[in-house]
Amino acid sequence: MVRGHKYQMRMCFILSGIEQYIEGKRRCHFVGIGGVSMSPLAEILHGAGVVVSGSDMGDSNAVSRLRKLGIPVTVGHRAENVHGAGFVIRTAAARDDNVEIAAARETDIPVFERAEAWGYIMRGYENAICVAGVHGKTTTTAMMTQILLAAGRDPTVMIGGTFSAIGGTGYRIGAGDTIVLESCEYYNSFHNFFPTVAIILNIDADHLDFFKDLDEVKSSFRKFAALTPESGYIVCNGDDENTMSALAPLGRGLFAFGLGDSPLLRVRGVNVSYCGRTPSMDVLYDGVPYCRIKLSVPGLHNLKDALAAAAAAITLGLPAKSIEDGLSAFVGAGRRFEFKGCLGGADVYDDYAHHPSELSALIDMVLSLDYDRIILAFQPHTYTRTRALFADFVKELRRVDIVLLAEIYAAREPNDMSVSSADIAAAVPGAMHFATLGEISDEIHKIARDGDIILTVGAGDIFRVGETLV
């Protein structure tokens, strides 16, 4: 998708970074082309004149969109799919034993990680805003996008979810000088990036199937922050102890934001009001009033994400009005306390929370909304995370009225039989465990009543329960 002469000129510069891999080659093949950050990458390279093909395990809206652009996509992974390719880009989910990856290496076709390609692309932008953190990345990236749109910056965007402001997709290809990307720590993916503004929202123990412990997570974030040039900005959560201790050894200036009273804070939220559906606060920049934020989405955690986006916008010199207008127009990203509809007199919402800290923030928010009962259908995500953070999950789930547990969503992991959702149910008084999502839907139909809020929560396919209910 070419956006005119200015866009074409930028793409020529972008591709110069990987010219050695594509010069004289006929085709780039994507393994897992339908992925949330693979399909926009394929579209960008296709729009730049690269011959693109791809494969995925199934059809999807993303695959259909790519086919309409003229990109051939094969369902299923087969060795012959890479024949004739000049280089291969793979999704993080495609391991070394994938038949296409193996075939490429056997025939000396270079294989690149998705993050490497995004890293090359962002070098072509004057401003590369990389949003990192264990929690809140998608929401903050979406908020940042909304601010940039309000400021008329026409950004290129990569979000790890869907967002109505960019057409209900997870990406946008703009013609401006700014790119904003959700930047994931898993497998040190964000070490391939070239941020001019690195946002670090928080650091927590997660992805413990890859990281050894919290110290290793902190080390990974520190290396990511160090990728920011001295002329850029490290925008960080000054209220988060893990973040500040991780960045301290860098020995360089930080652009800290927060709601606390630390003297390190450059951007501070004051007069904070977060009970109810329209949280708000005033924003001070170096002690001087800068703007007032009022959101249309509830929760203290959303205010904190908004403050992070405002701080990054300030580093770009964006006017206060753009921050105010952008954030007031923000209505949430997909699967982030997303309203699905009603079941009788009960409201049904869906949320991506899959870590105890995210569950805590979600429950805090819902408790402030004055529903009669909270019915929470939770699907744990990966055996590793469930086992490592078991006690924390139990602690949070005990705070709600009714808990319905789905089987653990395995994602990339084999079941080692060391933990199950039934174990959580046994530790949470009154909790019920179900073998199928259909059984959870049936149970909610039986017990729901006027004044309830029904939450479907988790990073797997638990959202299907809410869609069934409404």
Give the per-residue pLDDT at 170: 87
Residue extents of the structural domains in the chain: 5-113, 125-328, 338-469
Residue 300 DSSP symbol? H
Work out the angle at residue 304's Cα, subtended by the Cα atoms of residues 401 and 192, and round it to the nearest 5 degrees: 110
Please name every residue paired with 455 in a beta bridge, in sequence order, or none if there are none: 349, 376
**Residue matched to tokens 């969503």:** 409
Check residue 45 and give its pLDDT: 86
pLDDT of 49 reads 83
| pTM of the entire predicted model | 0.90
All residue ranges of the chain with pLDDT < 70 are 1-26
SS3 149: helix
Which among 66, 37, 60, 56 is positioned nearest to 94, based on CA atoms? 56
Protein fold of 125-328: UDP-N-acetylmuramoyl-L-alanine:D-glutamate ligase (3.40.1190)
What pLDDT shows up at residue 18? 57
CB 355 within 8 A of CB 457: no
Beta bridge partners of 280: 273, 294
Pick the CATH number of 5-113 from 3.20.20.220, 3.20.20.70, 3.40.50.720, 3.40.50.620: 3.40.50.720
> Do the strands 197-200 and 233-237 form a parallel or antiparallel pair, or are they unpaired?
parallel
d(CA 95, CA 101): 8
Residue 169 confidence (pLDDT): 86
Alpha-carbon gap, residue 454 to 61, rounded angstroms: 28
For domain 338-469, the CATH class is alpha beta
The set of residues, in sequence order, having a beta carbon less than 8 Å from that of 405 and lying 6+ positions away, is 377, 378, 379, 380, 421, 422, 424, 425, 431, 432, 433, 434
Compute the distance between CA of residue 60 and CA of residue 50 in angstroms, rounded to an integer: 23
Which residues lie across from 91 on neighbouring strands? none
How much is the pLDDT for 1? 30
The pLDDT of residue 246 is: 98
Q: How many residues does the chain have?
A: 470
Give the integer Cα–Cα distance in Å for 453 and 447.
12
For the sheet containing 432-433, what is the strand order? 338-343, 346-351, 452-457, 373-378, 402-405, 432-433
**In angstroms, what CA-CA distances link 108 with 41, 105, 120, 278?**
23, 5, 21, 56
Distance in angstroms (rounded) separating the CA atoms of residues 21 and 192 = 17
- State how far the Cα of 332 lies from the Cα of 142, in Å rounded to an integer: 8
pLDDT score for 93: 79
Q: Give the C-alpha separation, 440 to 421, whole Å.
A: 13
